[in-house]
Structure 1
Amino acid sequence: MFISLFILILGVSPAIIYWQFRQRIETRVIGQLSTVGTGLTVTHWRRSDLPPDAQYVEGVGYLIGDLSCQYNARSSYIRCAVNPSGPCEDCRFYQAKSLSQEEN
């Protein structure tokens, strides 16, 4: 009788030890995840080498210049095809985009 009880305990002990380790790990991971969720979420970082008129467009990245201008290069390096170095404010080459061009 003693031998059969010893074999039963010996067979079940690895499962009990595994269960205890798993419980400790789960509580530790849940504690770490709860502290991570309290921080602020940043969707994108602003690059320091960009001029102040840079705008972030989701899926494209940073674009500089006036995005409503027809000649805007849609680039983070060049403002427009006519006046690459800018500034866009009071530019004599400014032309607003027409609705037909925005649909294409």
Structure 2
Amino acid sequence: MSDEYTYPPLKRKTKTRQSWDSRRIRALREFMGLTQREMADELEVRQQTISEWETGLHTPHRSTQKTLSMVAERVGFAYESGERPAEEITSNDQQRDTGQATRNRVY
């Protein structure tokens, strides 16, 4: 028997990173009720940048993708499916119909 100890192989920690594709970016913006210009102002980027993301010409940098994920979480956007819970849709629609809807601010 050998005195040598064999260590088990190291396991890499892997994070599941949400990919922000054009469809999800547009869905988030529309969920928040923002125009491309308003979204750009909130994220401190150009309106053209939002347009390029939404058309798939470019993708957001990793840091911006993290910001988008935080924003989505803060406003209750289910970015996995891009859909709102049914009770939230009803609530927001009622607020809009009565003129009480307010825009969700990113920061």
TM-score normalised by the chain length of structure 1: 0.21
Structure with higher helix content: 2
More relative contact order in 1 or in 2 (CA 8 Å, sep 6+)? 2
TM-score normalised by the chain length of structure 2: 0.21
Structure with higher strand content: 1
